[in-house]
Amino acid sequence: MSLSKEQVRHIAMLARLKLTEEEYAESVQKLSKIVDFVDQLSAADTRDVLPMAHPLHAVQRLRPDVVTETDERDYLQENAAAVADGLYLVPKVIE
């Protein structure tokens, strides 16, 4: 296995996933397979290859600095689970 259970546990924590022991076992196997698959690229000689940031050979288009959006708060907050005084409410964040 190219990934250890500890590594998978770390990845799950970063992704905020709560997995059962069975799911861990399965994830270690499946994720290792994916990593092994991608690892084949390491065999290629990339000494003269520039790292690719994007598959398209194009350059970022720029937008003029103009305010084009209007206030749609009421409409957008219809999707929210909880709002108060214009704020989106979330479970208490402890700092």
Partner 1 sequence: MKAGWEVVIGLEIHAQLATRSKIFSGASTAYGAAPNTQACLVDLGYPGVLPVLNEEVVHMATMFGLAVNATVAPRSVFARKNYFYPDLPKGYQISQFELPIVEHGELYITDDEGRDKRIGITRAHLEEDAGKSIHEGLERSSGIDLNRAGTPLLEIVSEPDLRSAKEAVAYMRKMHSIVRYLRISDGNMQEGSFRCDANVSVRPVGQQELGTRTELKNLNSFRFVERAINFEIDRQIEVIEDGGEVVQETRLYDSDKDETRPMRSKEESHDYRYFPDPDLLPVEISPEYIETARQQLPELPTAKKRRFTDQYDLKPDDADLLTGSRPLADYFEAAVAATGAKPQLVANWVIGDLSGALNRDSLEIADSKVSATELAGLLTRIHDNTISGKIAKQVFEAMWAGEGDADTVIDAKGLKQITDSTAIEAVVDEVIAANPGQVAEYRAGKEKLIGFFVGRVMQATKGQANPGQVNQILKKKLHD
Residues near partner 1, by CB under 8 A? 10, 13-14, 16, 51, 53-54, 56, 58-69, 71-73, 76-77, 82, 84-93, 95
Contacts of 12 (CB under 8 A, 6+ apart): 18, 19, 24, 27
| Choice between 2 and 25, CB closer to partner 1 | 2
Contact 24, 8 (CB under 8 A): yes
Q: What is the DSSP string of 21-44?
A: HHHHHHHHHHHHHHHHHHHGGGGS
| Choice between 22 and 48, CB closer to partner 1 | 48
Least distance in Å: CB of 87 to partner 1? 3
Least distance in Å: CB of 68 to partner 1? 3
Q: What are phi and psi of 90, to 5 degrees?
A: -130, 160
Least distance in Å: CB of 32 to partner 1? 18
